[in-house]
Amino acid sequence: WESIQADDNLKSMFVGTVMRKIKSRTWKKHRYFRLQEDCMTIWYKSKKAANAHSTFSVGDVEAVREGHQSEVLLSIADEFPPDRCFTLVFRGRRGNLDLVAESAGEAQSWIKGIRKLIDNLENMGQREKLDQWICDWFKKADKNRDGRMNFKEVRDLLKMMNVDMNEHHALRLFTMADKSQSGTLEDDEFVLFYKMLTQREDVLRVFQEYLGDGQKLTLQDLKDFLREEQLHEDGVQQYALKLIERYEPSDTARMLQAMTFDGFLMYLTSPEGSIFNPSMVELYQDMTQPLCHYFISSSHNTYLLEDQIRGHSSVEGYIRALKRGCRCVEVDCWDGPNGEPIVYHGHTFTSKIFFKDVVTVLGNYAFKASQYPVILSIENHCSVEQQKVMAQHLTQILGDKLLKSPLDGKILIGLPSPEDLKGKILLKGKKIGGLEDGMNGVVDDPLMGEVSDEEEIAEIDDDHHRNDSIRHRVKKSKQHLSKELSDCVVYCKSVHFTGFKHSQIHSKFYEISSFTESKARKHIREAGAEFVLHNARQLSRVYPSGLRTDSSNFNPQDMWNAGCQIVALNFQTAGVEMDQNDGLFSQNGYCGYILKPAFMRNIDERFDPENPQNDGYKPLSLSIQVISGQQLPKVNIKEGSIIDPLVRVEIHGVPLDQAKQETRYIDNNGFNPVWYDTLQFTIHVPELALVRFVVEDYDKTSKNDFVGQFTLPFTCIQPGYRHIHLLSKDGTSIPPSSLFVNVRITKLM
């Protein structure tokens, strides 16, 4: 940190700067911003002395954008030059902070300074992160700012940290840590106090079980532990040496090829000791299969940041979804002023944005998180004239990124693979004629596109608005399609779904049908195996019911169980459904494509999600011993309230696998609760199962409060003693909150 604090940009940030905080064309207020001494917190307040101040952590900032790179700053571009403007983008669903500095130099100081701090945080080891975390707590608790802590300050700190400790025990630790016997704790004494406080008895028990007759695990002890508990089979010697090299802090132990308790704890809290198999975090799947053989991370009405009726439409919705690895985004296009098509949720009060701005953002952000193709799903309500403008924007802005003709040599055999389509944007929409017509040189009359707008009918039909006049009117409305826009559609031609038999005989591989969630559920109930087969041949899209005006989500698992690839969720809405989506797509390099299990890709197999005991049926038993929790975040801001945590484990999979079980709750301990409760599950279709760990604050009178969660595919679980690093409601990490578990997976047959 010392080297950092000497940085000139940071020096001026410590002094502080007055900048304008901008919320809209009319809301532009001066705020005084300053970096705190911890190099982690930015503090700001209005110039009025009495007003409260706000803070945010540099750790919450995902990126700094320079210039007019947000809608708000674009709206005032005529007022402030780009070299004075910048935007802080936060993780999760928190809104941007748009700022205008008094001079270009000051803007640069903050831009470079914050970027340096972000880099520094990302390059910190675990040890340093923990020390930083301890240091932050020290600053929070040192109320009188004298750099030392008396016993009262320590007691208040324990409350802030979610620890309910009796006075006597706290005093004992305090006295042991106060080596200088000054009645206060200085820096290193506080670190010692913290280490005693966080002594991991649970991990020590495991460590001692494998200890020979010394203080350290020998290489052989460590190998025994890795084989017997962590179920490592191949190359155990190599792996054990790698762990010692990577996590053992003591040079002496490293020389002896041994591991101390500190090293053992570092290993168990590292990615290697995580429940998520690190080799599956990377890109590990075959990416050369046809597009319809993958689940594809997909967003619904991507332009909305809130609800479906009055919500704010924004290009930020696209940026956020694409950065989360989403590979199918949606636009609803309507005729706009001066011949420019606009995007918003038709017939509602949601605000409007220009189609060309969405396309620009798509061009800029499509391939930041993943190189694999992005599908732009267009719901088109524009006149032929404005459709031509849409086609022009797509072609001019996206250039080579837009796929405009079938890939060479892959014309009529089937869908290309994600690998074939790397770096390409595909348009999903109506098309005049088929792919073959274009190939045979047949050119239709340019205005001939009579296409009825089936998606609207589906939605109205489905959501029990059995109002015949509406249905009648929609069925009749035929829409003209411009040839230019039609030509931009290659492998994703939207068609109306008639039935599985009809599709089997008449459907083309490049056709895609959309289903509302209730239609999809009906097909799964009545013809699950048919649906799975249909999805082995072509793409299907499922979207939320029109009744979900609050942007809530349906359970995506039901749709994945039937092999539906494009399951469109409202990314802006946190909750169990987005946790499932994040969980499924957190493997395979976050690339937004997950290969479906073999039994869903094979045309000769009959897999029925409702009745999954097929030929390759191999049920497994999953046993999870929930041992302990570490430093769970506070839920209630109320002074002195401490959580009563319980852990629930949920299995999301085929109906037969859906299950949940909970531990008991622990009174008043969010800091280091210990359960040692074992939960048992049977998993019938492991390839489709997700496991979700949820921590809640037990409340006997009302609904439990959410504390944190972590969701992962069953196939990505590493057995043995593992830590689970919890995530917030928004899916962002909340270090150092974790659970410690022991996982066992055994065959039942």
> Could you tell me which of 562, 563, 564, 545 has the C-alpha nearest to residue 553?
545
| Residue 36 annotated as binding site | yes
Annotated catalytic residue 232: no
642 is in an annotated binding site: yes
Please say whether the beta carbons of 542 and 568 come within 8 A: yes
DSSP string, 36-62: -TTSSEEEEEESSTTSPEEEEEGGGEE
Question: 41 labelled as ligand-binding?
Answer: yes
Spatial distance between the Cα atoms of 575 and 554, rounded to a whole number of angstroms:
11
Q: 687: annotated binding-site residue?
A: no
SS (H, E, C) 253-283: HHHCCCECHHHHHHHHHCHHHECECHHHHCC
Distance of alpha carbon 220 from alpha carbon 204, whole angstroms: 18
Q: Is 48 annotated as a binding residue?
A: yes
Q: Are 692 and 677 in contact (CB under 8 A)?
A: no
Asked whether residue 644 is marked as a ligand-binding residue, the answer is yes
State phi, psi for 422 to the nearest 5 degrees: -50, 135
- Give yes or no for a cis peptide into 556 (omega within 30° of 0): no
Report phi then psi at 424, rounded to 5. -110, 145
* φ, ψ at 87 (rounded to 5°): -125, 130
Tell me the helix, strand and coil percentages in the chain, rounded to 5.
Answer: 35, 25, 40
Q: Is 548 annotated as a binding residue?
A: no
Three-state secondary structure call for residue 456:
helix
**Residue 428 annotated as part of some ligand binding site:** yes
26 is in an annotated binding site: yes
Q: Is 21 annotated as a binding residue?
A: yes
29 is an annotated ligand-binding site residue? yes
**Catalytic residue status for 523:** no
Q: Does the annotation flag 557 for ligand binding?
A: no
HEC states along 206-258?
Answer: HHHHCCCCCCCECHHHHHHHHHHCCCCCCCHHHHHHHHHHHHCCCHHHHHCCC
Q: Is 42 labeled as ligand-binding?
A: yes
Q: Is 137 one of the annotated binding-site residues?
A: no
Tokens of 747: 């065959």
Residue 562 is encoded by which pair of tokens? 């039937």
How far is residue 372's CA from residue 403's CA, in Å, rounded to a whole number? 13
Q: Spot the catalytic one: 68, 293, 300, 652.
A: 300
Check whether 666 is labelled as a binding-site residue: no
Residue 342: in which H helix or E strand, if any? strand 342-343
541 is an annotated ligand-binding site residue: yes
Contact (CB, 8 A) for 165 and 193: no
Instruction: For residue 23, say whether it is annotated as part of any ligand binding site.
Output: yes
Spot the catalytic one: 68, 293, 345, 523: 345
- Confirm whether residue 143 is marked as ligand binding: no
User: Is 422 within any annotated ligand binding site?
Assistant: no
| C-alpha dist (Å) from residue 481 to 120, 452, 472, 605 | 53, 10, 21, 39
Any binding-site annotation on 344?
no
State the distance between the two ends of the chain, measured CA to CA, in whole angstroms. Answer: 56
Q: Which H or E run contains 530?
A: helix 517-537
d(C-alpha 614, C-alpha 621), whole Å: 18
- Is 699 annotated as contributing to ligand binding? yes
- Collapsing DSSP to helix, strand or coil, 509 comes out as coil
Q: Is 87 annotated as a binding residue?
A: no
Query: Are the C-beta atoms of 735 and 133 separated by less than 8 Å?
Result: yes
Has 40 been labeled as part of a binding site?
A: yes
Query: Is 728 one of the annotated binding-site residues?
Result: no
> What is the residue-wise DSSP string for 277-309?
-HHHHS--S---S-GGGEEEEEESSTTBSS-SS
- 24 assigned binding-site residue: yes
Q: Is 34 marked within a binding site?
A: yes
CB of 305 closer than 8 Å to CB of 312: yes
| Secondary structure string (H, E, C) spanning 166-191 | CHHHHHHHHHHHCCCCCCCECHHHHH
Q: Token digits for 110?
A: 């903050």
Is 43 annotated in some ligand binding site? yes
Burial class of 83 by CB neighbour count within 10 A (0 to 12, 13 to 18, 19+): middle
Q: Check whether 330 is labelled as a binding-site residue.
A: yes
Angstrom distance (rounded) from CA 646 to CA 387: 55
Is 511 annotated to bind ligand?
no
In the numeric block, which tokens belong to residue 245? Answer: 């090299």
> Cα 295–375–534 angle (5° rounding)?
45
Q: How far is residue 435's CA from residue 439's CA, in Å, rounded to a whole number?
A: 7
* Beta pairing partners, 542: 515, 567
Q: Residue 47 annotated as binding? A: yes
User: Which residues are CB-contacts of 247 (< 8 A; sequence separation ≥ 6)?
Assistant: 259, 263, 266, 267, 270, 272
Answer yes or no: is 179 a known binding residue: no
Whole-angstrom Cα distance, residue 446 to residue 464? Answer: 37
Residue 445's CB is within 10 A of a number of other CB atoms, namely 8
> Annotation-wise, does 93 bind a ligand?
no
Q: Are strands 425-429 and 489-494 parallel, antiparallel or unpaired?
A: parallel
Give binding residues as ranges. Answer: 21-48, 301, 330, 332, 379, 428, 430, 514, 541, 642, 644, 668, 697-699
Q: Which residues are annotated as a binding site for Ca(2+)?
A: 301, 330, 332, 379, 642, 644, 668, 697-699
Q: Residue positions in the annotated binding site for substrate?
A: 21-48, 428, 430, 514, 541
Which residues does the annotation mark as catalytic? 300, 345
